[in-house]
A and B are shown apart, each in its own frame.
Chain A
Amino acid sequence: MGTVAILGIGLALSLAGCRPEETGFFGTTEPRHGPGELWMNNAGEPEWLDPNKCADGNGGEILWNTFAGLVQAHPATLEPLPEIATHWEVSADGRTYTFHLRPSEWSDGTPLTAHDFVYSFRRLVDPATASKYATNGHIFRGGAAISRGEAAPETLTVQALDDLTLEVTLENPIPYFLHFLTFYSFMPIPRHLLEDLATRGIDPELWTRPEHVVCNGPYRMTEWTFRQRMVFEKNPRYWDATNVRLERVRLAMVESYTTALNMYAAGEFDWPGSNTSLPAEFLDELARYGDFHRHPYLAVYFYWINTQAPPLDDPLVRQALSLAIDREALVAHVARGGQIPSAALVPDGLAGYEAIPLPLFDPDRARQLLREAGYERPEDLPPVTLMYNTSEGHKQVAEAIQQMWKKELGIRVELENQEWKVFLANAEQMNFQICRMGWTGDYADPFTFLELLTTECGNNHSAWSNAEYDELLAAANRESDPSRRLARLREAEALMLEAQPLIPLYVYTRSQLIKPYVRGIEGNHQDRHPWKHIWIDERRPDRDRQPAPAGRPPAPPRPPAAVHPSAAAKEKAA
């Protein structure tokens, strides 16, 4: 009786599901609010709303829209554009930057000066701040020594020449500096507010609560109901306030993606936002709707190999494992998000980098390598354990790869699922054989990935250490000629992939749902979508246009050219 009942319910509901044939869109296309508002999800409460201390995407989404740094990223190309700095000069050796700031104000009317940036950058690396992203400040000369507690924060080579001129000197002439500077760690801090709170006997750490907060970005927080919603209103004192179109943005804190999907369908969200990810099993279905969008994302999924213990201390075995993975099948049938299969660590085309060409799948060569390593029969190879942290997506990839290794090489692989913090502890103590990892690039440069394999990098979980590799990376960083720098980086990556201390699998994509009346959300590889470029289209072309037939979503509408800064046509990933 129960079987029949459950079966019946399942059938009825799935058949009654809202088919794309009906509307062409997932759920309602009627906005539940006026044209000046945007409702979106932030998935979870941020840990910190302090730019220096924030280290999670939940906080980043808010900081990028409530603070304004020296430069901002173009919403589509991410190219650095003027923000508080109107223009800048670079020294001949590429190490010293002089920024000229526009006169601007904090949201409480206090003038914003170069000193606020100096205060922020010093505070970022000061161990007393205890910022998890203190390493971001290591790009400034002296930053690393300060965060190790070996030098005073005042020794950081960042100084205000006058109220509107800022000079910074870098450790290395890194070409991605201006782009990196758009990151939220480098936003200014309202020193006057923190000091005022301290004199009033209030803990300055609470400065970002809505009753105190002072900011300088396009929006300011007006309501924060813990674990329910945050409301942001346009900041009239933002220097470019006239070009900010949305009056209010409402953020909900919905963790469960299915709940978020339901709320999107019911019109409670116009856009689930970049912190909501859609599960793989829904992607094929959702891709049939007109409000589905996809773009590449600068993050790589790979497996670390602990190179210390047999049989994985043999590079031949590690290469065999890599070659036995059918990455194209993995992406097409398991990850299902149109990810880009990759056997190299650095994605192709990243800041002009040409990816190392490696076969994506070569089972014959893999078997041959295994024989060369002395394992004539697959039974000779002891079982290998693959560790991943609790997550449906990681499990799916691990199960598929386990079968590929079993099928192609005859290797017995045990899967080991671990709770996140236990997983981290084991990874840190090298207490594993193979473990999964995803790495998001902090900036558009190969170094953000290649740095992982250096001997001193605390995130290197392979125990692989190669002096030549370390030296090649250091030399690349000293290099001020961009093409010679890339060549050295490429040489280093080739050397590293030969040793195979990790197995790259694919480059991520981001799949999103955006209501057809929401405009100005550009796909970019860091999934950053400033609210100030977003607007609600009241013309509603989706109602006039015939919905596209199921199977192929209609092209996303082009934003009008008037959006500032000049908007580029949205490129959709294949």
Chain B
Amino acid sequence: MKAYVIRRLLELIPTALIIILGSFALVRLAPGSPFSSEKEIPPEVRRQLDAKYGFDKPLPEQFVRYLGNLLVGDLGPSTKYPQRSVNEIIADGFPVSLTLAGVALVWSLLVGITAGIIGAVRQNTVWDHAAMAAALIGISIPSFVLGPLLVLLFSLRLHLLPPAGWGDLRHVILPGITLGTIYAASIARLTRGGMLEVVRSDFIRTARAKGLSERLVIWRHMLKGGLLPVVSYLGPAIASMLTGSVVVEKIFNVPGIGPYFVDAAFNRDYFLVMGIVVLYAFFLLLLNLVVDVIYGFLDPRIEYP
């Protein structure tokens, strides 16, 4: 187990390198430049701008320099927000996205797993159908529809919560629920599916035959086994929740880092895109490692290779 974790941590290094190299290449090969605009810029000015950010150097040189800066924790300047460094931008936005992700995660796990358990335990009853119908509605309403609907209802009609913005606890509720619901719906379906798969497997039948109480069977065996797909799903899901949501953060004007995934790409804000990718990759790799370790706890038969 310990050896496994150490080996996986070592694997992170080449993986991260490939991600950084691949992203760097993709970002730079895309047509367009951070400085292109509707109005022509005098060529000499363009040269000065390129020189200022080092874009006039050959790409391999730029890459090596980027890696070097990355090692000392410098993510570079932003071309779209020239008054700020990428480090500052992420330090501003990341705690915001983290808060939102926390609320969304709690909401999605609470609602999703509960609904999933109800569905699986009471399979093919009214309860099951109701829970799964709710989950399906959750899946079929995209967040860009759900968000505005919640705003309309809770802010503009009932005047209970602010329509958008960031600052106090009341601002977190609507975006948190909007973001969490999509995941909750998927978690509910996966929990139910996973548990049903386990219900039919022999060890549950054995457990039941041994006369274990139904509750114990549910909690100890069905849930643990049934959560495997959920856990697999959660690795990337949490990584993308942590790094913010483009749509939800835009609808509720939450100053997190989610919108940069799209906007920084549109602006060809090279260093900002890379910074966001590096951050996301870091969480993704880490969380997938955690997920693989958790497999072992959920199903003791899994051996670490």
Contact = CB atoms under 8 A, between A and B. Distances in A.
Interface of A: 1-2, 5-6, 9, 13, 16, 18, 27, 45, 47-49, 55, 127-135, 147-149, 205-206, 208-209, 225-228, 252-256, 258-259, 262-263, 265-266, 268, 419-422, 424-426, 428, 437, 457-459
A1 B49 CA distance: 57
Give the size range of B's interface with the partner.
Answer: 35 or more
Contact of A9 (B45, B83, B140, B149): B149
Given A259-B252, A459-B38, A130 B163 contact: no
B83 A49 contact: yes
Contacts of A129: 48
Interface string B22-52: 0000000011110111111111110111001
20 contacts: A2-B136, A9-B149, A18-B156, A27-B156, A47-B82, A48-B82, A130-B52, A135-B42, A208-B83, A226-B92, A227-B255, A228-B255, A259-B252, A259-B253, A262-B155, A265-B163, A266-B159, A268-B164, A421-B268, A426-B31
Interface string B241-283: 0000000001111010001000000111000000000000000
A459 B39 contact: yes
A262 B92 contact: no
Interface in B153-207: 153, 155-157, 159, 162-166
B220 interface: no
B32 A252 contact: no
Given A5-B137, A130-B48, A259 B42 contact: no
A454 to B, nearest CB: 12
Nearest to B259: A255
Contacts of B98: none
A208 B40 CA distance: 25
A1 B163 CA distance: 29
Contacts of B32: 420-422, 424-425
B28 to A, nearest CB: 13
Q: Which of A253, A255, A258 has the most CB of B within 10 A?
A: A258
B81 interface: yes
A225 B205 CA distance: 59
B262 to A, nearest CB: 10
Contact of A13 (B93, B153, B165, B250): B153
A424 B267 CA distance: 12
B160 to A, nearest CB: 11
B45 A127 contact: yes
Contacts of A428: 36
A529 to B, nearest CB: 23
A419 B31 CA distance: 10
Nearest to A3: B140
B152 interface: yes
B103 interface: no
Given A208-B83, A263-B165, A458 B40 contact: yes
B151 interface: yes
Interface string B41-79: 111110111001000000000000000000000000000
A2 B45 CA distance: 57
A266 B174 CA distance: 16
Given A2-B140, A13-B153, A254-B253, A262 B42 contact: no
Given A148-B44, A252-B165, 18 more contacts: A13-B149, A45-B81, A55-B39, A127-B44, A147-B42, A205-B83, A227-B92, A253-B253, A254-B164, A255-B253, A255-B259, A256-B251, A259-B164, A259-B252, A263-B164, A268-B162, A268-B165, A422-B31
Q: Which of B44, B80, B84, B93 has the most CB of A within 10 A?
A: B44
Contacts of A425: 31-33, 36
B291 interface: no
B83 A421 contact: no
Contacts of B84: 226
Contacts of B49: 130
Contacts of A48: 82-83
A259 B148 CA distance: 8
Given A16-B157, A228-B255, A255-B253, A205 B82 contact: yes
Contacts of A130: 45, 48-49, 52
A458 B155 CA distance: 48
A254 to B, nearest CB: 5
Contact of B42 (A134, A252, A420, A422): A134
Nearest to A138: B42
A226 B155 contact: no
Interface string B133-149: 10011001100000011
Nearest to B52: A130
A395 B40 CA distance: 24
Contacts of A5: 137
B134 to A, nearest CB: 10
A263 B38 contact: no
Contacts of B259: 255
Contacts of A226: 81, 84, 88-89, 92, 255
Contacts of A13: 149, 152-153
Given A13-B152, A263-B163, A147 B250 contact: no
A48 B268 CA distance: 17
